[in-house]
Copies of this chain bind each other. A is one copy, B any other.
Amino acid sequence: MRKERDLLAIGHTALDYIIQVNEFPLPNSATTINNMRTFHGGAAANVAVVASTLGLESSLVSAVGGDFPGSDYQNHLENLQINLDDMIIVGEDKTPTAFVLTDTNDDQIFYFYWGAASRFKESPVPEDAIMNVQAVHLATGDPTFNCRCGEFARESDKIISFDPGQDLHMYSPQDLLDVLKICDILFGNHHEIGRILESINMNIDQLRDYGPSIVVETRGRNGSVIYSDEKIQIDAIERDPTDPTGAGDSYRAGFLKPYLEGEPLEYCGKLASAVSSFIVEAEGCQTNIPTLEMAKERMGNSLE
């Protein structure tokens, strides 16, 4: 029997390439990349990394490529004591990769390579990993794998949070109904929550009766709203944002840490907001992560 852990994040571990060009080339022409940086990313890994830094004993289940074992990324996760025993290693493919290209007009083009993550579909539910945690967070990733993992987690009486994020378009209305039925907390930005409600043809109250008793809607610099038995408005902590990517994932981790310790929802939202205010101050989803003390201090200051 493994030692009980706090949180299992299921979904993408990915590499992010942030690329700057003068202009996007036309077909059959070339351009020089002015700057290129790579960052550790993927929504599930982002949540696990921030949660771990905040003090949650975290595990991660992602489908990654043959490039992952021995990589800097693996070392980084292991240094954070994140349990990787149930990672799905697809030797003949690559770790999912996102390319974000920005030109001098600040227009952007996004390329996503699903890679090893295409094997989620046929992968068995990581039963041991689920059994041995208090809570399971279903992040971006394959809808059917998330459904299967969620159902097993439900049978095992785990706390389940769900954040389909940018993979929302891959969920059929029935997929959504299946996962929403068994989850306790739904996270999404305001666009995503809107699209989910439209897709399943419910309003927030109907959704909360049907599935998650808590719906957390993040609104960027407009803060966040927690729908529970009451509607709680959380202000954003204003910071000069360098890079908003990863803010949402860090909010989820920052919310789950106090939530799993039984803190009231308003406190969870405020700590989450403080955590994400650090992430936007630096490029990358896993850079400038605060410790719990740093987040609490900023949260405290914002209340004065």
Contacts and interface: CB of A to CB of B under 8 A. Distances in A.
Interface of A: 19, 21, 24-33, 36, 38, 94, 97, 99, 101, 103, 105, 107-115
A107 B30 CA distance: 12
Nearest to A30: B110
Prevailing SS type, chain A contact patch = strand
B108 A28 contact: yes
A99 B36 CA distance: 12
A110 B29 contact: yes
Given A19-B113, A33-B111, 19 more contacts: A19-B111, A25-B110, A25-B111, A27-B103, A28-B108, A29-B109, A29-B110, A30-B109, A30-B110, A30-B112, A31-B109, A31-B110, A31-B112, A32-B111, A32-B113, A33-B113, A36-B113, A38-B94, A99-B99
A109 B27 contact: yes
Most buried by B among A26, A31, A33, A97: A33
A114 B32 contact: yes
Nearest to A35: B113
A30 B166 CA distance: 11
A25 B29 CA distance: 15
Contacts of A97: 33, 36
